[in-house]
Amino acid sequence: MRSRSLLLSALCVGVLTLAGCAVPQATHHTDDLTETAFNQRLESLENNLALRCSTQTELLRVQAERAQRIGDDVRANGKLLRHLRADVENIGQEPRVVTTCPIERSDTASKEMLGRNEWVGFPTVGTYLKARVDSGANTSSLSARDITEFERDGDDWIRFKLSLEDDEPIVDAMRDEWIEAPVTRRVKIIQASGTESRPVISLLMTLGPIKQRVEFTLNDRSHLSYPVLLGRRFLMDIALIDVSQSYIHPRPEYPGGASAADAEKDQQDNDSEEETR
């Protein structure tokens, strides 16, 4: 009887188990990931990755700079060591005597000798004038008055008359004539009285065998002894000055002017008078 009851109980448990009525199982529910949340997480990952890449690039740059500095230091130290090694090897040796060759000077025979004062001629103007040769001045100067600047064909020109004392030797026809020339540049002149800007023109000039275009600043020199001042820009590479002499070269001749043979009476030096530029 007891055996039958146990068999019946086992059969009931099996039926219940097959019917799904055994011990219930717990179920788990997971919420779905939305598109917005997904995009936010993806953007966060991208930002983190970009930051890591930027940091890595900066670290590589710093390391490259350090390597460059180390390389420079190594090369500098190597050069210093080579010099020190050479100095050590030369210890106890006799000093070496270095013989230098003399520097060859330019041939002065090809340069024209000028006195401290000379006659100059202006072929395009048609007159001669007395000139003072002064290597202390940079640009040559010509005495002028009634200086008027104007424009011609888009270029700057200048019109002026020679500014001279009444007894200054000159071809009389040119004493009060207008002279015109293009302005090549302007120069700043610094004097004790202040600074001024002067126009510069280029005129064909002769002095003995020398014939070339010379740049002149224009300003009134009528209060000075010589209407023309020749500076070192003219003298450079073509002439030397013998200050013990004057008027080495003859006065040029022009129509309407005095003969070169009569120039001696006009060659009175005024070196005792103070010259200013």
Q: Residue 25: which pLDDT band, with cuts at 50, 70 and 90?
A: very low
Whether 94 has a pLDDT exceeding 60, the answer reads no
CA angle 115/120/126 to nearest 5° reads 170
Q: Are 145 and 161 in contact (CB under 8 A)?
A: yes
Q: Which residue has the higher pLDDT, 20 or 142?
A: 142
Bridge partner residues of 231 (DSSP): none
Q: What confidence score (pLDDT) does residue 12 get?
A: 44
pTM over 0.75: no
Whether 10 has a pLDDT exceeding 60, the answer reads no
Q: Residue 49: which pLDDT band, with cuts at 50, 70 and 90?
A: confident
What torsion do the CA atoms of 198, 200, 206, 209 make, to the nearest 10 degrees?
Answer: 110
> What are phi and psi for residue 169, nearest 5 degrees?
-65, 125
Domain ranges of the chain: 118-263
User: Rounded mean pLDDT of 36-41?
Assistant: 86
Q: What confidence score (pLDDT) does residue 83 get?
A: 66
Residue 275 to residue 277: CA distance in whole angstroms: 7
pLDDT averaged over the chain? 81
Bridge partner residues of 186 (DSSP): 199
User: Rounded mean pLDDT of 196-200?
Assistant: 89
User: Rounded mean pLDDT of 171-192?
Assistant: 91
Q: What confidence score (pLDDT) does residue 183 get?
A: 95
Q: Which residue has the higher pLDDT, 109 or 111?
A: 111
Report which DSSP code applies to 9.
H
Average the pLDDT over each of 53-67, 75-89, 119-133 and give the range with the smallest value.
75-89
Whether 210 has a pLDDT exceeding 50, the answer reads yes
Q: Are 160 and 149 in contact (CB under 8 A)?
A: no
Bridge partner residues of 145 (DSSP): 161
User: Rounded mean pLDDT of 133-155?
Assistant: 93
CATH of domain 118-263: 2.40.70.10
Q: Which residue has the higher pLDDT, 122 or 25?
A: 122
